[in-house]
Structure 1
């Protein structure tokens, strides 16, 4: 499986770029999965549902299956957060996995950058960031795309990965 990341600080356009890249690559006929890292506590399950009740009763893993999707919730219960490598090993094979976050991991990435967010670029100090998608022109030692140039960013990633 080919991997490529979208990284950047909060409110810099990562999720929007991810969403557009998934749509672009699937329109090109590729199978795409995503993996997103969250720094905050997150819960995809809601209080009162049967699956929530199973988890709070102590289940280590709850699989929720329907005709439309399957969700697997695994409780860490104090164990260490799985590494990116461990998480990737759990995923089904596809043509491309797009990774949001995990900015310190060694996979190739594109940085999403919005000037109004007021955060410095990560790219100058991180060689795993192969390009930047920004809402303002930048002069860097690597390619810079307009943040809304989804096709250009997708073409760049495709060439980088040999897709």
Structure 2
């Protein structure tokens, strides 16, 4: 159980980039770095493709098909929550991740949340698909002066996870006040 000493909303940060640019790897690295600093982090993996996560024939699937607005599948080791995908995912994120310090979202690049962008040298056009005001940080080998980004955008080389983690701490006020405190 955690107790929050900061009542501001939990920050949501999108990790995005072209296909096969290393998004999942970066999320894993950020999770390890943030956890080592004492933070609790929730993650969301978005897929633009249709997937049926709950499988036909399972009891939880049958519950949903019978009319349950939401179903929780609970085992001694894990829990899985099934509900219809909301039109506004932020509401669901805030309900499900109320006890974390930061929410990392892999995907959903068109949402208005701040973004950490993985930008390969061979696909710099990807940056133009994003609203410039949402770009918080970029990981790239491209020289900073070629990117034409706002002055407050953090620019990092791939692999600079420690520096990126410190940037996120400062940018989103992830200080000791937000860290997990045992009740």
2:63 to 51, 54, 58: 54
Please report the RMSD computed on the Cα atoms of aligned residues, expressed in angstroms.
Answer: 2.3
Using the size of structure 1 for normalisation, the TM-score is: 0.81
Residue 4 of structure 1 and its aligned partner are, at CA, apart by 1.9
Deviating more after overlay: 151-160 vs 8-17: 8-17
Equivalent in the alignment of 1:82: 87
Using the size of structure 2 for normalisation, the TM-score is: 0.73
Residue 47 of structure 1 and its aligned partner are, at CA, apart by 4.1
Q: Unpaired runs of 5+ in structure 2?
A: 1-9, 175-183
Contact (CA 8 Å) 2:119, 2:139: kept in 1 or not? yes
Counting matched residue pairs gives 157
2:76 to 61, 67, 76: 67
Matched, 1:98 2:98: no
Contact (CA 8 Å) 2:121, 2:142: kept in 1 or not? no
Q: Relative to structure 1, is the Cα distance of residues 65 and 162 closer, same or farther in structure 2, using a 3 angstrom cutoff?
A: same
Equivalent in the alignment of 1:20: 29
What do residues 45-87 of structure 1 show as CA deviations (whole Å, max 9, x unaligned)? 33443323433455442210011111111145xxxx4313222
Q: Unpaired runs of 5+ in structure 1?
A: none
